[in-house]
Chain A
Amino acid sequence: GAVVSQHPSRVICKSGTSVKIECRSLDFQATTMFWYRQFPKQSLMLMATSNEGSKATYEQGVEKDKFLINHASLTLSTLTVTSAHPEDSSFYICSADGGATDTQYFGPGTRLTVL
């Protein structure tokens, strides 16, 4: 089946630094990828839709200058959390549109802790 990977799986950083998270579709091409954020014991909240070769579409309330999304190829989307603060600590999960199978496949998630 289709596989989506994320790197890193866990990251701890100091407040004020930037962190990049990668989302890769390993055995299929994804023109569209999605980024979600999940706080402890809460639901997945859609942050943005990432389209290959074009600007991401952000959900209301998500700061595009703080959460930079780049989808430079059909197999890779990156999310950069700029000037991270403790309140950005969360579980970040990406998903990829399977295209022909028309199903979304989720990555394993990245646990971000900002000290």
Chain B
Amino acid sequence: GENVEQHPSTLSVQEGDSAVIKCTYSDSASNYFPWYKQELGKRPQLIIDIRSNVGEKKDQRIAVTLNKTAKHFSLHITETQPEDSAVYFCAASMNQGGKLIFGQGTELSVKP
């Protein structure tokens, strides 16, 4: 089955700096890759997603890149703010409404 690896497990940046989180997946049949932000004790919130027919997608300060050949995708957050501090999860799925296999998570800390 699908396996998703995520790095780093923790990431600390200064406010205004950029943060990059990377994920790799194992199943070449996966074609949908969402990123979630989860605050302590809360539900995961979808922040951006990408499908396998697209190499990059951007939404304001957040961008995701996908390298389907290498089977890895990355989340980029620019101009980080303290409110960006949370745990971020990548995931992979065979389709947009299908079951999600999550990465291990990255605890992002943005220091003011």
Contact = CB atoms under 8 A, between A and B. Distances in A.
A43 B100 CA distance: 12
B89 A43 contact: yes
A52 to B, nearest CB: 14
A45 B103 CA distance: 9
A114 B46 CA distance: 30
Given A93-B43, A107-B43, A109-B43, A46 B97 contact: no
B43 A46 contact: no
17 contacts: A34-B100, A42-B104, A43-B102, A43-B104, A43-B105, A44-B44, A44-B89, A44-B102, A45-B102, A49-B99, A97-B98, A103-B46, A104-B100, A108-B42, A109-B41, A109-B43, A111-B41
Contact of B97 (A32, A108, A109): A32
B101 interface: yes
Contacts of A67: none
- Chain A, interface size category, equals 20 to 34
Nearest to A46: B99
B54 to A, nearest CB: 15
Nearest to A30: B97
Interface string A86-115: 000001010101110011101111010000
B96 interface: yes
A44 B34 CA distance: 14
Chain B CB within 10 A, most for which of A44, A60, A99: A44
A108 B100 contact: no
A43 B97 contact: no
